[in-house]
Amino acid sequence: MAQCLFCRIAAGEIPAQKVYEDDAVLAFRDINPQAPVHILVIPKAHVESAACITPENSHLVARCFQVIAQLGSQLEGGFRVVSNCGPNAGQTVPHLHFHLLGGAQLAVQMA
């Protein structure tokens, strides 16, 4: 999607602090971190949100979680994965992404 922010980051049109990249997945640092470590893990292909995961594209989610496991296992004490979906959850970028948060004790309350 030409105008999608994360598609443009995935295409290299907008710079990002990349921490991992392969043919299907990109991980980069969130521009407004909510924890000492705050990484966004995205499929390079455009999927709008967690509500749009299908049998045809679910392999992309598995690929994202392989990267999450790899990056998260380096975070002492564990980590949290969040995916906001739709306005009630506060999704601001309509391209599926997983927030990987860690590096400190995180808030117990999730909502």
Catalytic site positions:
97
Under the criterion CB under 6 A, does residue 49 sit at the interface with ligand 5GP?
Answer: no
Under the criterion CB under 6 A, does residue 31 sit at the interface with ligand 5GP?
Answer: yes
Task: With beta carbons less than 8 A apart as the criterion, state whether 42 and 91 touch.
Answer: no
Task: With beta carbons less than 8 A apart as the criterion, state whether 41 and 97 touch.
Answer: yes
First-to-last C-alpha distance (Å) of the chain = 31
What does 7 bind: Zn ion, ligand 5GP, none (CB cut-off 5 to 8 Å by kind)? Zn ion
Is the alpha carbon torsion for 52, 53, 54, 56 positive or negative?
A: positive
Rounded to a whole number of angstroms, the minimum distance from the CB of residue 33 to ligand 5GP is 8
Chain residues binding ligand 5GP by CB under 6 A are 5, 16, 28-32, 40, 84, 90-93
